[in-house]
Structure 1
Amino acid sequence: MYHNKVLVFFKPLEDQVLSQKLSQLSMTSFRTPEHLIEITEDQVENIPYYLTKESKSFQQITSDLSSSELIEELRQLAILIHELLMIEFHKSLWTIYLKSGTGQLQLNQMNHPHHHIQPHLWPLEVQKRMRQQSLDSTDMAACLTYVTQHLDQLNNKMKQYQTKYNMKKNQYINYVPKIQTFVHQQLESARLAIEQQTAIVHYNYNDHVFELKLMAYSPSPVQKQIVHTLNHAKYQEQMTTQEFNLLKYRISIHESSPTSVQIPKEKFYKTIKDPSLRQNLHEQFIKIAEQAKKDMRQLSLSTAQAQMDRYHKEFNMKLEQFNLQQVTLPSDEKFNSTLLHLVEKHWKDISQGVNCFYKYKLDLLRLDSHHN
């Protein structure tokens, strides 16, 4: 059915690295708490740490139970709920992969010609998995077969776990709501990760559709260069804005729950016999260290804001230059109203895509801060 279609691949959003400097501006390090331990699809059938016998979080929700046998049964119930949710998450993502690869992904509506363009765009994850199994990732039919088979496998697993879950649920019906709530809370980060990957697929699909629609207008080399320059400037503007907002939020979390400064175990402290002098030095060290942390955070924030402002001004400058060019360019090089609308609509898509990408990072920080 799909043999005659053109197979197109994309570079994922996360590969579009803007600046290494901004990634180094985080002044606080966040440990990965129990509920945020990464869970991949290959781990669906493994017991996650938060449901092991060593897990403090599971011990807490069953602390009012005296029967070790009952606790173990509820742990097995929680494992089944976990497995069902993980399969559900990945089914939703692979369904998006299938829609992208078969040209059925819902597009952002654009009010211009050539709206019928629905490319077949197989995501990078599909290609990677096929190459790992020595399959031809450039073959449309092979990609389709691989994805549909994978979805069939997920459906079969879900049926198996659903049968086991139904049997155990009926035995412990009074405990089900509490266990379900617990597992949902622990898998919130996994749910967010799936949402992020889904958003990236949509972003790249819309981005490629834009390229195809642009080429349908047969733009001149000058017009293509102008569009590329403006799109890149818009992307930089949005990325630096979101990096600044992310850094601000990180700093606000750090300041709302300050950590105590650790005093280095220097030998000279032990040589100070006078308790008053030793305490005075201790207080001075704390004061200097706290001020240094504050100064570093402010420097990071100022640097991020300066870069955000620079790229904002750069985009506006390039846009102003473009508007001036519209007057001086030959008539065959000028952008008509339909082409202008296409480009402006794409800028909105860029903004939405970057916002979705950073929303995931912010949501993870919120989860982390709530569990600390």
Structure 2
Amino acid sequence: MLTQKNDQRMQINNHRTIDKEKYDNSNRFNTSQNDVYMNNIDKMDWNNGIDFGNMVTIKKKEKIIVIQISNSLWISYLKSGTGQLIIPSKEQLNCLTNLHVWPKEIKIIIKQKSIKMNATNENDIYINFISNKLHELDNQLKQYQTELNQKIISFYVNPLELQQLIETYIQQNLSSFRMEIEHKIELIHYDYYIQALKLEYYRYNPNEYQKQLMKQLCCSKYEQEITKQEYNLLQQQISYYNSSCHSFKCSPISQSELIDSIQDPNIRQELFNQYKEIAEQSKQNMLSLYLKSAKIQMDECNKKFDADMKKLWHDRRSSCDNEKISPVMIDLIEQRCNKIGDRIRCIYIFKAKSICVKDN
């Protein structure tokens, strides 16, 4: 039995090393994007027929809304790190909910600033950094609010007209920014749950084999879900590229100087038809190859995850009682895998929405 267990441990250890779980690197954003957005507001073309007084007022109001939206993100960072990120009742999991989990974005910023940190002052550094950022945003908010009030006094502004202009403009220009910040906050919650489940699992004092087992299964789940979402995305992209707006007629390659130079119209048309047929067939062959490759990869990852889960239960049945992984620990692994899958789906839903916003 010991030999069998050693073999099992070797299989786990020889599996692809997971030094840093992949889902942590998915869809990370630059947390200073609101600063970039604020600068872009000043560079926008305001020559759109709006009364000058209303135009200036809307510009100030937009900056205020950008700060308010950004503020919600930094508050979520702080809540996650100070154990105040409350899990909604429908999301209750079998894990602690008052854990201090500092988001990776904050850790990256602190590291980039070369701030010296150790185990004793780590928490204080994170809290001070975010608190300073919130204080900075609050000062900006007060400044822009004061400037807005002054502009309203300086110009005659029709309140009803202004409110309608603001709502219309924000809908057209801030919807994508708001959607992205809301998505970041969603990811903070997912990362919190995923880390909380890991820490809860470690409270049961897993041995090294059981630690590696969780890593392997979470990695397999990541690969299963990411390949599935990539396959679905590729299908959508193929449908898009097969639409009328991407027909051969609309393609740059539909123009051929060599064919156009042929004088005989019958020969020219015949060659063009052959050229078009070859081009369209090549396009379909290429897209089919992409889809087939993605399907193969998706199926392989599905099989691998299923095999890993079956092995988990097989190992439990065949192990000695004192080496068996408990049902509670298995449940925590499954919950964590599910949350990783949910996080990836959340990212791809956001991608799809972003494409729709850009197209509109």
Task: Summarize deviations over 1:301-336 as a string: whole Å, max 9, x none.
Answer: 222122112111111112122222221111122122
Q: Match for residue 89 of structure 1?
A: 69
Q: Which runs of 5 or more residues in structure 1 are unaligned? A: 1-9, 18-37
Letter in 2 for 1:251: I
Q: Match for residue 183 of structure 2?
A: 196
Among 328, 333, 336, which residue is 2:326 paired with? 336
Superposed CA RMSD in Å reads 2.8
Contact 1:250 1:365 (C-alpha < 8 Å) held by counterparts: no
- Distance, in Å, in 1 between the alignment partners of 2:114 and 2:338 is 39
Cα distance change of structure 1 residues 257 and 364 upon mapping to structure 2, 3 Å threshold: farther
Task: Summarize deviations over 1:219-252 as a string: whole Å, max 9, x none.
Answer: 1222222222222111111111111122222222
Q: Match for residue 325 of structure 1?
A: 315
Q: Match for residue 185 of structure 1?
A: 172
- Structure 1 position 346 matched with structure 2 position 346: no
Deviation at 1:110, TM superposition (A): 1.9
Q: TM-score, normalised by structure 2?
A: 0.80
Cα distance change of structure 1 residues 288 and 368 upon mapping to structure 2, 3 Å threshold: farther
Among 233, 240, 251, which residue is 2:220 paired with? 233
Query: Where does 1:125-274 land on structure 2 (aligned, <5 Å)?
Result: 125-136=105-116, 138=118, 139-166=122-149, 168=151, 171-173=157-159, 174-259=161-246, 260-263=250-253, 268-269=258-259, 271-274=261-264
Task: Summarize deviations over 1:108-142 as a string: whole Å, max 9, x none.
Answer: 4223xxx4463322223323333444433553212
Contact 2:197 2:336 (C-alpha < 8 Å) held by counterparts: yes
Letter in 2 for 1:102: T
Quick check: which one's helix share is greater? 2
What SS class does the counterpart of residue 118 from structure 1 fall into?
Answer: coil
Among 281, 304, 317, which residue is 2:294 paired with? 304
- Distance, in Å, in 2 between the alignment partners of 1:128 and 1:347 is 25
Task: Summarize deviations over 1:193-242 as a string: whole Å, max 9, x none.
Answer: 21232222222222222221111101122222222222211111111111
- Distance, in Å, in 2 between the alignment partners of 1:52 and 1:12 is 41
What SS class does the counterpart of residue 321 from structure 2 fall into?
Answer: coil
Contact 2:259 2:272 (C-alpha < 8 Å) held by counterparts: no
Contact 2:73 2:184 (C-alpha < 8 Å) held by counterparts: yes
- Structure 1 position 15 matched with structure 2 position 25: yes
Contact 2:79 2:85 (C-alpha < 8 Å) held by counterparts: yes
- Distance, in Å, in 2 between the alignment partners of 1:341 and 1:304 is 30
Deviation at 1:166, TM superposition (A): 4.7
Q: Match for residue 45 of structure 2?
A: 52
- Structure 1 position 100 matched with structure 2 position 83: no
Q: Match for residue 7 of structure 1?
A: none
Letter in 1 for 2:218: N
Letter in 1 for 2:190: Y
Query: Where does 1:21-32 land on structure 2 (aligned, <5 Å)?
Result: none
- Structure 1 position 75 matched with structure 2 position 35: no
Contact 2:74 2:134 (C-alpha < 8 Å) held by counterparts: yes
- Distance, in Å, in 1 between the alignment partners of 2:178 and 2:240 is 23
- Structure 1 position 367 matched with structure 2 position 357: yes
Tell which deviates more after alignment, 116-125 or 336-345: 116-125
Cα distance change of structure 1 residues 323 and 42 upon mapping to structure 2, 3 Å threshold: same
Letter in 2 for 1:159: K
Contact 1:84 1:162 (C-alpha < 8 Å) held by counterparts: yes
- Distance, in Å, in 1 between the alignment partners of 2:353 and 2:199 is 33
